Amino acid sequence: MNMLPTTRADQLARPETSATEWLIEGLWSTEAVGIIGGEPKCGKSFLALDLAVAVASSTPCLRHFPTRQSGAVLLYAAEDAWHIVRERLVGIACAAGVNFESLAIYVITVPTLRLDRSEHQQALQATVAQLQPKLLVLDPFVRLHAIDENVAGEVAPLLAYLRSLQRHHHTAVALVHHARKGAAHERGGQALRGSSELHAWGDSNLYLRRHSQNLYLNIEHRAAPGTDRLQLTLKANPPALALELVEPSPTAPCDRAQPSPQQRIEQILAAATAPITQRQLRQAAKMRASHVAEVLAKLVADGRISRSANGYRLKS
């Protein structure tokens, strides 16, 4: 049997640059694939369209993040009527101070695009090859397939196909995806609906989350530092309507940080008057069973809680 080819580590190709290259500085790296995630009605589509206008016009995204590379954008908006897509793009272009008619944003207008069908994959690949977009926006993931999102073996081939588009055509890919309901206390990637393959796939991920009446953006990168809890607002100044970054007031009190999963478990146990089962803890904390099990195992190992036949109890 023939050996696999190998190369000494010191003979591997050197990186062309040590610094992260940006499509939109701090927000989306060059040719990155990733997720724009959040619960319903959190502005995911507005954020995706803001990226599109920024790349097509070379203007700052959210009027804050500088666009370092510009070019055509290819967009598929599966849940909105075309006139709504146009109206939103017009509003964002107005907020950005650019001429809407000059934007090289191409909207895919087929009624259905299914990435689990080979003929649709081939059609999308041919479109990307023809237009050579700097950014491909697909909104949302749930409308692009008929697979089981919870099965990694079904999700992985679709993500691999999108990765192949990125590599062969040097285009960034932004995939809009929903978070699970009731996952507000989990990290952005862990809160995404379906398989963990989705979180692992992204090079740049953006997570939107509401807390009370406020909207926050968390930014995550594979090869650069991220940023948490940037406050956004949907600013209306007709005809302009777009998300914008809220500059923090130096005198405004900071929002109270959300407790970590371990802190939440400890708080529930501290308030209990009797041992609590793992199932009761999961329901009270609104966390996945696997996450509750991990926290409990750590707390037991650290000697902070005790376990009995009746459940778990915080040690005094």
Contact 29, 20 (CB under 8 A): yes
Q: Which residues pair with 135 in a beta bridge?
A: 73, 172
- 269 CB-near residues (< 8 Å, 6+ apart): 276, 281, 305, 312, 313, 314
Averaged pLDDT score across all residues of the chain: 90
Backbone angles phi, psi at 47, to 5 degrees: -65, -40
Share of the chain above pLDDT 70, in %: 92
> So what's the pLDDT on residue 314?
87
SS3 229: strand
Q: What is the pLDDT of residues 204-216, one digit of tens each?
A: 999 999 887 899 9
Burial class for 275, CB neighbours closer than 10 Å (0-12, 13-18, 19+):
middle
Fold of 261-314: Arc Repressor Mutant, subunit A (1.10.10)
Alpha carbon distances (Å) from 14 to 11, 18, 74, 166 = 8, 9, 32, 21
Fold of 20-245: Rossmann fold (3.40.50)
Burial readout 137-167 (b: 16 or more C-beta within 10 A, e: otherwise) = bbbbbeebbebebeeeebbeebbeebeebbe
Q: Over 60: is that where the pLDDT of 202 sits?
A: yes
Alpha carbon distances (Å) from 245 to 30, 74, 227, 231 = 22, 25, 13, 6
Q: What is the pLDDT of residues 258-300, one digit of tens each?
A: 677 888 888 888 888 889 898 888 888 878 787 788 888 888 8
Backbone angles phi, psi at 45, to 5 degrees: -65, -40
* In the chain, domain spans: 20-245, 261-314
> So what's the pLDDT on residue 255?
47
Contact 71, 133 (CB under 8 A): yes
SS3 225: coil
* DSSP assigned state of 41: T
Q: How many CB atoms lie within 10 A of CB 33?
A: 24
Contact 74, 106 (CB under 8 A): yes
Give dist(CA 275, CA 313) in Å, integer: 5
Give dist(CA 84, CA 106) in Å, integer: 15
pLDDT-derived band at 15 (thresholds 50, 70, 90) equals low
Tokens 């146009």 belong to: 86
Backbone angles phi, psi at 198, to 5 degrees: -65, -45
- β strands within the chain, DSSP E: 22-24, 28-29, 33-38, 73-77, 105-107, 135-139, 172-178, 204-211, 214-221, 227-237, 240-245, 305-308, 311-314
pLDDT-derived band at 161 (thresholds 50, 70, 90) equals very high
pTM to 2 decimal places: 0.76
SS3 82: helix
